[in-house]
Structures are given as C-alpha cells and as structure tokens.
Amino acid sequence: MSPAKRAMARAKVNLSLRIAGRRPDGYHELESLVVFPDTGDRLTADPATDLTLDIEGPFADDLTGEADNLVLRAAHALLAETGSGRGARIVLDKYLPVASGIGGGSADAAAALNLLNELWDAQLDHETLARIALELGADVPVCLDAAPAFMTGIGERVARLPALPDFVLLLVNPGVAVPTGEVFARLDAALLTEGREEAPPPSFATLDELLQWLARHPNDLEAPAMEIAPAIGVVLRKLDTLPGALLARMSGSGATCFAIFSDRNDAQDALSILSADYPDWWCAAAPVVTG
C-alpha cells in the first residue's frame, strides 16, 4: 500500500490585478502578477477503499456542510480522467480564511490534483492536470506550480516568471465577507475591443524594480471592494503605518490585504503589533516562493 502523501496549498496573492475589460459573455479579462507566500492550508491523503474528505483546522467550520467542495471535485475529476476506481482518505487542514481573496479553495483543489496524481500513480503530465484544473476554476491552474506567474485572460493563461527578488508578505484579513460577484458588479468595466494586445509578462532584477512596477499596476477591485467592506480601508491604513512596510494593497476581490517587507524580522515585528492591536484579525507573515 502506498504511504500517505502530504502537500501545502499555499495562499495565492495578487500583487497586481488590472481589469482589461468585460467580454460579451459577461466575464472579465484580467492581467495579474501572482505570488505564493510560504503559508497555507495543508492536505494529507492516505490510500483507502472509498473517497472521503475530513476538514480540520481553524476555518473548518466555514466549510461544514459544503456540498460542492473543490477538493472532492478535483478528486472526482482525476478519477474520471484516469478511469480509476481508486479511493483516498483526504484530510484538509483549513488554515486560510474562506472566500477571502487569496485563492484558498483554488489552491486546495490544485494541491489535491498534485497529491492524488502521486498517491494513485496516475502519471498525468502537467498539461493534462492544467486542463483538469481549468475545468474546476479559472484560478486553479496557476496554483498547480505555486510559483510567481503572470495571469491573463480570465486567469486561464499562465506565464511562469523568472525568479523574483526575495521579500516577505504580511497577510491580514479583518474577518468580513466580500462577495466577488458584488465587487465585479460595482466595477465600471468597458467592453473589450477586438485586437487588444495583452501586456507582456514582466521581470524584475531587484525589489525596487518590482515596487516601481507595482506602483503603476494597482488592484482595480480595491475601490469597489472598499465600498462594500470599509474595514478593508482600515486594514490598508494600518499596514501603511507599520515600520518597514514598503507597499500595502488588497489581494484579489478582498478582504485579505498584504504589505511587502524586505526584511523578515520587520515583518514579524509588524505581525506582533497587529496581533496585539487587532486580536480578531487573521494575520500571517511568510516569505514568498520566488522561483
């Protein structure tokens, strides 16, 4: 019997998120620089006769009774692709807040695909896994590698980036719900024009170059999200005051925000400050996987 397999489903953070426009089918095309700090949910899979999922951890209750969990959907999609009748006992340790703009569900699904591909010795290549991932959600393919990438289209086109300079992210979620659909509904996005050229993937030799690029490429969803959840503005203003914080911004459609630090000790000191001042906020500090 195969031994248990383990994987981390790292948080997906949108350092930038530009909305290029709205397609005739209602979907929005985007351009986003995505990174993955070394923190996230954890998955364990043991061989079993049946396919089951147990959810543990601090945010397990937020998924209790969910009939369409992405981890199980990923497992069933893998079984359908391989024609296998294999089983697994999957345990998801839910550490990341649910529906919080850092791709927790997408990261869990991608980690499940990688994990079960190995546990079941399915030997599916990356292209096949990416196709299955896209069927699960536009954000799932970029989470397969959990490495710096530039996303375009509705998120399905993923360009891996050269190694980034080292930096640390402080993630903060004030515990408010921000429905993604409502954020996009408040966004005044023009219809896409035919023949539009996508921006090329960027590259950065230094952290200063990255910060200069980010200054020109904000998160277009930040303003409409703050209209729905003013607490996001409170978080961003607090992050801006922390010693060593180089840039503060919202990730995805919110409500999780982040601050960039060049020094791990500065990020840990900032984490201590926030944890003391705002004990109800979820906070985590971690270096970014840069290559």
What residues are annotated to the active site?
12, 139
3-class secondary structure, 237: helix
Whole-number Å distance between alpha carbons of 30 and 155 = 7
Q: Which two tokens stand for residue 263?
A: 């020094």
Q: Which two tokens stand for residue 137?
A: 């959600």
Q: Per DSSP, what are the bridge partners of residue 35?
A: 13
Is the separation of the CB atoms in 45 and 86 below 8 Å? no
Pairing label, strands 51-56, 28-35:
unpaired
Whole-number Å distance between alpha carbons of 69 and 65 = 9
Q: Is 61 exposed, middle or buried (0-12, 13-18, 19+ CB in 10 A)?
A: exposed
Q: Is 132 exposed, middle or buried (0-12, 13-18, 19+ CB in 10 A)?
A: buried
What would you report as the CA-atom Rg of the chain, rounded to the nearest whole angstrom?
19
Whole-number Å distance between alpha carbons of 249 and 251 = 7
Whole-number Å distance between alpha carbons of 75 and 52 = 10
The torsion defined by the Cα of 203, 208, 211 and 213, in degrees rounded to 10, comes to: -40
